[in-house]
Amino acid sequence: MSISDFSSQLMQIVVVFLPFLLGIILHEIAHGLMALKCGDPTARMLGRLTLNPLPHIDPAGLGCFVFTSLFTPFVFGWAKPVPVNPRYFRNYRRDMLLVSAAGPLCNFLLALFMGLCLRLFLLLAPDPFILHSSAGNFLLQMLLSGISANLVLAWFNLLPIPPLDGGHILECLLPFRMAQKFAGMGRIGFVVLLALLAVGGLNHVLLPLVKVSYKAVLGFAGVL
C-alpha cells in the first residue's frame, strides 16, 4: 500500500469516525437524560451525561468500528451502555419504553440536523472552488457521513432483538408473559447480532432502510 493510499484510507476512517462517535455519545446521553426525566439519576451520578468521549468509549466497540469501516460495507460499533436502574421508574413499562426510544430518536434528529447543516453549507459556499477545496470537501463528506452514520445507528438499534433498544421497546409492548419469555432471549441476542453481521444478514435488512431514509433526509433538507 502506497503512502497516498494509506492517507486516503485514514482520511476515510476519520470522516466516518467523528460523526459516528458523536452519534453514539449523544445516543447514550439521550438514554440517560430520559431516564433522569423518568426519575432515575444513575447516569448523572456516574458522570455519563457528558460530551467527553472517554467515559462512553468501549474498546471492543471501537475496535469493531475500525475493522468494519476498513473491510465491510456496513460500519458497526458501539459505546458503553448508559446504566439505567428501573427501580426508580414510576411506571416501568412506560418509562423503559421512553428511555429505550430516546436513543434512536436522538439519532434520527441528529441526521436531520446534519442535513440542514449540509443545506446551509451549500447555500453559504456555492463557489466550486470552496466546495472542491480540501477543507470544503472534508466538511461536505463529514456531513454526508454524519447523516448516514446516524441513520445506521437509529435503524440498527431499532432492530427488535434484545439487548438492542428495539428489543426493549418490543418487550414493553408485549403482554406480560410474552414479554418475560422475550426478555430471556437477551442472553443470546448479542450472539445472534454478531452472526448476522458475519454472514451479511444485517446488510439486507438495514441498507434498504438507510437508503430510503437517507434520501428522505436530503429531501427534507432541500438538498435533493
Considering only CA atoms, which of 163, 165, 153 is closest in space to residue 202? 153
Rounded to whole angstroms, the Cα distance separating 96 from 79 reads: 19
Rounded to whole angstroms, the Cα distance separating 209 from 214 reads: 8
Rounded to 10 deg, the angle between the 3-37 and 59-71 helix axes is: 140
Q: How many CA atoms lie within 13 A of 3 on its CB side?
A: 0
Judge whether 28 counts as a catalytic residue.
yes
Residues composing the chain = 224
Catalytic residue among 21, 23, 24, 28: 28
Active-site residue numbers? 28
